[in-house]
Chains A and B, each alone.
Chain A
Amino acid sequence: MTRLGLSVKATCCGDISAFPIDDDTFYRQDCFMAQRGSIVPFAGWRRTRLLGESPLRQAARSIGDRVVRIAEEVVGQDIDARIAGIKTHKNEVGHDPFGFDPETSRYALAVAALLHRRYFRTEVYGIERVPEGRVLIVANHSGQLPVDAVMIGSALMLDADPPRFPRSMVETWTAELPFISTLYPRLGQVVGSPENARRLLQQEESIIVFPEGARGISKTFDQRYQLTDFGLGFVRLALETDTPIVPVAVIGGEEQYPSIADFKPLARLLRMPAFPVMPQVFFGMIAPLPTKYRLYFGEPFRFSGDADDDDSVIEEKVWLVKSTIQSMVNRGLRERKGVFV
């Protein structure tokens, strides 16, 4: 016991001064265990507390690192190299102005890579068509949970060369939710507003857009792969910032959570956009069904014109994008052998 006590004392009082407190790179280092200087587990916890690293966070970090290693072995790709390969626009103090944190994102990318390669076995076609620089990636939305966004994002990160880091625009109310409001910006998600989108495109970033919005994601099973109305905002944004639009068809999302009805009164009560009734959840299958995802990237559209044109003029361009995605979806459905293969 005395030995334990001594070691605790030695490590907690040892060289605090050697590590300046305001050096926030210290607690990000991987060799934290090596620097602890004792073989007794958690002997250095006092010092880590002083440096702002809680034991909980330390545990989370070690689990996260393990997940990254597992994902790298399973996928056969270097996750850290992919994260390092993306271009971000850091400000004067070395942070992304929108809060993107590569440290958190590597864990998320590891999980997404496992889903992408193993769980949904995603096939990606035509990703080389995504042009360099600013781009709007417009896709059909499906599947009750936004797994399609994760699949498109991981395809751009893992399959595109060099890796592209896409941002997606999330609902405003997510910023009011604790933990989610911290997590989303760290993963590069941005609260959906025209100002934010404009700023990101001016920084030559890529944005994933689902013009169907909540209408598309909460479709019931009988309406699967039928595109609902598209909003007009994305075309106006593309015209204003002179951005190419890449249409993407996502196949496989509609079958992951088949929903038989939308229970509207409960949705209103819970202030949710929809309350899907999903039979698989009643049978205890909370995870999505392991359908096979297929992503088809189309040729980019480059529109020109006035961003403030009448709705009728903009609608023509929107219709062009929508009909392209619909025909790509139809072709993909014809070509696939089955939902799970």
Chain B
Amino acid sequence: MSLSKPHARRGREGSYRRPSARAPVARGVFGPTAQVRERVQPELVQPEPTKIAERRAAPTSGTHPKPALEGAVLVTGICGRLGKLLARELHRTDQVVGVDRRPFPDRPKDIVHHELDMRRKKMKDIFRGRNIRAVVHLGVLHDLRRSDRERHAWNIVAFQKLLDYMSQYEVPKLVVLSGANVYGPQANNPQFLNEDAPLLGAQHFGGMRDLIELDMLAQSFFWKHPSTETVVLRPCHIVGRVHNAASNYLRLDRPVMVMGFDPMMQVVHEKDVVRAIQHALRPGVRGIFNIRGPGEMPLSHLIRKAGGRPRVVPAPLAKVALDQLWKLRLSSFPSQELDHLRYVCMVDDSRARAELGFEPVHSIDRVLRDVRRLRYLVA
């Protein structure tokens, strides 16, 4: 088998080709751009909207087992709960390469894990040494206890480097997990925000600035590099066994509610988010998508359904108390996040339903059972 026709060879075999460490191929207007398209032949997983179906060129045979797409999927931040969930789902059909600062000891055998900082130069070697077909960026630092500088360095500088490598090696797909928080809870929000709504999350909460900038960077990458299919997912509060602010809040026995406020809330199960990422990884999908969970309900109902009992506190008192507790490191919620308990910040997922073909499957009972289960395990 000669190496002169690498693409043809890849098309027939499902095996993974590890190219030698060579510089990326420069792809011009008339050059192998067509081959790039060819390389990304999709498989038929589910019936899809016509838009995506139009892009399919060759139909796959029905009897043959589903071939994995050529190339590996690079997952940053793979050692978070969501990253691990995604890795366990993805590695059945794709080759998964993980990058994280943390170790991943209990990983499936076929996952290649690199324990490194994304800003290091070794990151480039991963791109150079492998045929990466998609990058899923989950490595976002949300911890507000870290300094602004560290969060900026990690969320923005590292992401910029990642984008540089992606454009240099012409990776055809980027999936970024942003969040509905970037819209920000505001009194004058419409009940359901669509993807065109302005990102005002940092208006009252400076800690959100990085996450908004990250979202904007992904958006500008979308326009600057049309050859890469960029997908930005903005799910509402992700809950389940993950350790994020929303799940931790719902796990409390007596979560604080602001007196006189009971906004409508949306939550989505972590596994639904993983499914949304898998949908986003399909070829032909690009754009920004809001992800919504099984339905919205008032915060007080949500807390009671999760087995908690709301502790109702007047807003000024709650702010002062949370500020002090935050300073004393007794609370993991900064007082600016109280706005989430006062105003609506819900998203409209009609675009995700129509174009991504994604609908949540986990019911609200299942979602809250998973939140609760972890609390009982801990307690």
Q: Which residues of A contact B (CB under 8 A)?
A: 21-22, 24, 49-50, 52, 91-95, 97-99, 101, 172-173, 175-182, 185, 190-191, 193, 195-196, 199
Contact = CB atoms under 8 A, between A and B. Distances in A.
A91 B267 CA distance: 13
Contacts of A101: 298
21 contacts: A22-B304, A22-B368, A24-B301, A24-B304, A24-B305, A92-B294, A93-B297, A93-B364, A95-B264, A95-B298, A95-B301, A172-B187, A173-B187, A175-B188, A175-B344, A178-B259, A178-B261, A179-B260, A182-B262, A191-B189, A191-B190
Contacts of B342: 181
A95 B187 contact: no
Contact of A92 (B295, B305, B307, B344): B295
A50 B253 CA distance: 11
A27 to B, nearest CB: 9
Contacts of B314: 178
B33 interface: no
B260 A52 contact: no
Contacts of A97: 191-192, 264, 296
A199 B296 CA distance: 16
A318 to B, nearest CB: 24
Contact of A182 (B191, B194, B260, B363): B260
B288 interface: no
Given A24-B305, A172-B188, A193-B190, A95 B297 contact: yes
B192 A199 contact: yes
Q: Which range holds the interface residue count of chain B?
A: 35 or more
Contacts of B307: 21-22
Interface of B: 187-192, 194, 258-264, 294-298, 301, 304-307, 309-310, 314-315, 342-344, 363-365, 368
A140 B192 CA distance: 29
A176 B204 CA distance: 14
Contacts of A185: 264
A24 B298 CA distance: 12
Contact of B188 (A98, A99, A191): A191
The winner among B189, B192, B297, B363 for most chain A CB atoms within 10 A is B297
Contacts of B364: 92-93
Contacts of B298: 95, 99, 101
B305 A22 contact: yes
Given A22-B365, A99-B298, A195-B192, 15 more contacts: A93-B295, A95-B297, A95-B298, A175-B343, A178-B260, A178-B261, A178-B314, A179-B260, A181-B187, A182-B261, A182-B262, A191-B189, A193-B188, A193-B190, A195-B194
A176 B344 CA distance: 11
A58 B182 CA distance: 39
A199 B193 CA distance: 11
A173 B343 CA distance: 11
Contacts of A173: 187
Question: Which 10 A-B residue pairings sit nearest by Cβ, starting from the closest?
Answer: A178-B260, A93-B295, A195-B190, A92-B295, A175-B187, A179-B260, A91-B295, A172-B188, A176-B187, A193-B190
Contacts of A199: 190-192
A300 to B, nearest CB: 26
A193 B298 CA distance: 20
Given A91-B295, A93-B297, A22 B191 contact: no
Contacts of B194: 195
B139 to A, nearest CB: 32
